[in-house]
Structure 1
Amino acid sequence: MDSIAIRQRLDALISSSGEDYASLSRRLGRNASYIQQFIKRGVPRRLSERDRQLLAQHLGIAEHLLGGPETEPGHSRLQRPGLARAADDYVLVPQYQLSASAGPGALPGSETPSAAIAFQAGFIRDICANPPEGLALIGVEGDSMFPTLAHGDQILVDTNDHMRLRDGIYVLRSDDSLLVKRLSPNPAARRIAIRSDNDAYPSWPDCDPASITVIGRVVWVGRKLG
Structure 2
Amino acid sequence: MTQDELNLELDARGVRNIDLAELLGLGADKVSKSRRTDEKRRRWSSEEFVKIRAFLDSDGNIADAPDQPFSGIEGEYVAVEVLPTFAGAGGGGNGEGDRETALMARALLENVLNGRAGDFVIINIRGDSMEPDFQHGDQLLVDKRDRSPSQPGPFAIWDGEWAEYVVKNIERLPGGRLRMFSSNMKYTPAEVVSEETRIIGRPVFFGRRL
TM-score grouping bracket, smaller chain normalisation: 0.5 to 0.7
Deviations along 1:18-69, whole A, 9 cap, x unmatched? Answer: 69xxxxxxxxxxxxxxxxxxxxxxxxxxxxxxxxxxxxx9213xxxxxxxxx
Q: 1:154 to 1:170 in 2, by over 3 A?
A: same
- Residue type matched to 1:58 in 2? Q
Deviations along 1:161-181, whole A, 9 cap, x unmatched? Answer: 33x333121111134421100
Give the distance between the partners of 1:137 and 1:153, measured in 2 at CA. 10
Of 132, 149, 152, which aligns to 1:165?
A: 149
- How many residues end up aligned between the 2 structures? 147
- Residue type matched to 2:99 in 1? T
Larger radius of gyration: 1
Of 99, 110, 113, which aligns to 1:128?
A: 113
Are positions 1:185 and 2:172 aligned together? yes
Give the distance between the partners of 1:176 and 1:219, measured in 2 at CA. 24
Q: 1:182 to 1:112 in 2, by over 3 A?
A: same
- In structure 1, the residue matched to 2:8 is none
Residue 99 of structure 1: CA displacement?
A: 0.7
- In structure 2, the residue matched to 1:222 is 207
- Tell me if structure 2 keeps the 8 A contact 1:13–1:116: yes
Give the distance between the partners of 2:143 and 2:177, measured in 1 at CA. 23
TM-score (norm 2): 0.59
Residue 120 of structure 1: CA displacement?
A: 3.8
Give the distance between the partners of 1:16 and 1:95, measured in 2 at CA. 14
Give the distance between the partners of 1:207 and 1:129, measured in 2 at CA. 32
Residue 201 of structure 1: CA displacement?
A: 1.0
Residue 13 of structure 1: CA displacement?
A: 2.6
Q: What secondary structure does 2:45 align onto?
A: helix
Q: What secondary structure does 1:171 align onto?
A: strand
Q: 1:16 to 1:176 in 2, by over 3 A?
A: farther
- In structure 2, the residue matched to 1:116 is 102
Q: What secondary structure does 1:210 align onto?
A: helix
Deviations along 1:173-193, whole A, 9 cap, x unmatched? Answer: 13442110011113x544321
Are positions 1:196 and 2:189 aligned together? no
Q: Percent of aligned pairs with the same residue? A: 24
- In structure 1, the residue matched to 2:94 is 104
Root-mean-square deviation (Å): 2.9
Structure 1 stretches lacking a partner, 5+ long: 1-10, 20-56, 61-77
- Tell me if structure 1 keeps the 8 A contact 2:109–2:116: no
- Residue type matched to 2:172 in 1? P
Q: 1:198 to 1:142 in 2, by over 3 A?
A: same
- Tell me if structure 2 keeps the 8 A contact 1:144–1:197: yes
- In structure 2, the residue matched to 1:79 is 72
Q: What secondary structure does 1:58 align onto?
A: coil
Structure 2 stretches lacking a partner, 5+ long: 1-43, 53-66
Give the distance between the partners of 1:150 and 1:134, measured in 2 at CA. 24
- Tell me if structure 2 keeps the 8 A contact 1:127–1:219: no
Of 26, 45, 54, which aligns to 1:12?
A: 45
- In structure 2, the residue matched to 1:92 is 79
Residue 15 of structure 1: CA displacement?
A: 3.8
